[in-house]
Chains A and B, each alone.
Chain A
Amino acid sequence: MNEVILYSVGSLGTLAIVAAIILYFVAQKFKVFEDPRIDDVEEILPSANCGGCGYAGCRAFAEALVKAGTMEGFNCPVGGSDVMVDVGKALGLEAEIAEPQIAVVRCNGTVDNSPAKVKYDGISSCAAAATIYSGEGGCSFGCLGLGDCEESCDFDAIHVNPKTMIPEVTNNCVACNACVIACPKDIIELRNVGKKERRIFVSCINEEKGAPAKKNCSVACIACSKCFNVCPFDAIEMKNNRAYIDYEKCKLCRKCVAVCPTDAIHEINFPLKKIKPAADKAAPKKVATETKVDLTANLVTEQKKEVVKKEAPKNAAADAKKEENKKA
Chain B
Amino acid sequence: MKTFKLGGVHPPENKLSAEAAIETIALPKQVTVPLGQHLGAPATAIVKKGDMVKVGQQIAKATGFISANIHSPVSGKVFKIDNVYDSSGYRKPSIIINVEGDEWVDTIDRSTDIDANIKLSAKEITDKINEMGVVGLGGATFPSFVKLMVPDGKKVDYLIINGVECEPYLTSDHRLMLERGEEMLIGVSILMKGLNTNKALIGIEDNKKDAIEDLKRLAQKFKGIEVHPLKVQYPQGGEKQLIQALTGREVPSGKLPLEVGCVVNNVGTALAIYEAVQKNKPLFERVVTVTGKSVKKPSNFLARIGTPIKELIEAAQGLPEDTGKIINGGPMMGKALLNTDVPVVKGTSGILIMPEKESKRNEASNCIRCAKCVEACPMGLEPVLLSKTSKLELFEKVEAERVMDCIECGSCSYTCPANIPLLDYIRYGKNKVGGIIRDRSKK
- A interface residues (Cβ-Cβ under 8 A, vs B): 117-118, 121-123, 125, 127-128, 131-134, 138, 140, 208, 212
Contact = CB atoms under 8 A, between A and B. Distances in A.
Contact of B89 (A121, A127, A134): A134
B425 interface: yes
B360 A121 contact: yes
A121 B335 contact: no
Contact of A134 (B90, B336, B428): B90
B47 interface: no
B427 interface: yes
B90 A128 contact: no
Interface string B55-78: 000000000000000000000000
A208 B425 CA distance: 31
5 nearest CB pairs, A to B: A133-B89, A128-B428, A123-B424, A134-B89, A140-B90
A117 B339 CA distance: 9
Contact of B91 (A118, A121, A125, A208): A208
- Helix, strand, loop or mixed for chain B's interface? mixed
A230 to B, nearest CB: 29
B416 to A, nearest CB: 14
- Helix, strand, loop or mixed for chain A's interface? loop
A122 B421 contact: yes
Contacts of A117: 338-339
B361 interface: yes
B89 A125 contact: no
Interface of B: 83, 85, 89-91, 335-336, 338-339, 359-361, 421, 424-425, 427-428, 431
Nearest to B361: A121
B364 to A, nearest CB: 9
A140 B90 CA distance: 6
Contacts of A212: 83, 91
A140 B428 CA distance: 19
A125 B361 CA distance: 16
Q: Which of B91, B359, B360, B425 has the most CB of A within 10 A?
A: B91
A140 B339 CA distance: 15
B32 to A, nearest CB: 14
B425 A132 contact: no
Given A128-B424, A128-B428, A208-B83, A140 B91 contact: yes
A212 to B, nearest CB: 8
A122 B427 CA distance: 13
Given A117-B338, A122-B361, A208-B91, 11 more contacts: A121-B359, A121-B360, A122-B421, A125-B424, A125-B428, A127-B428, A128-B427, A132-B89, A132-B335, A134-B91, A212-B83
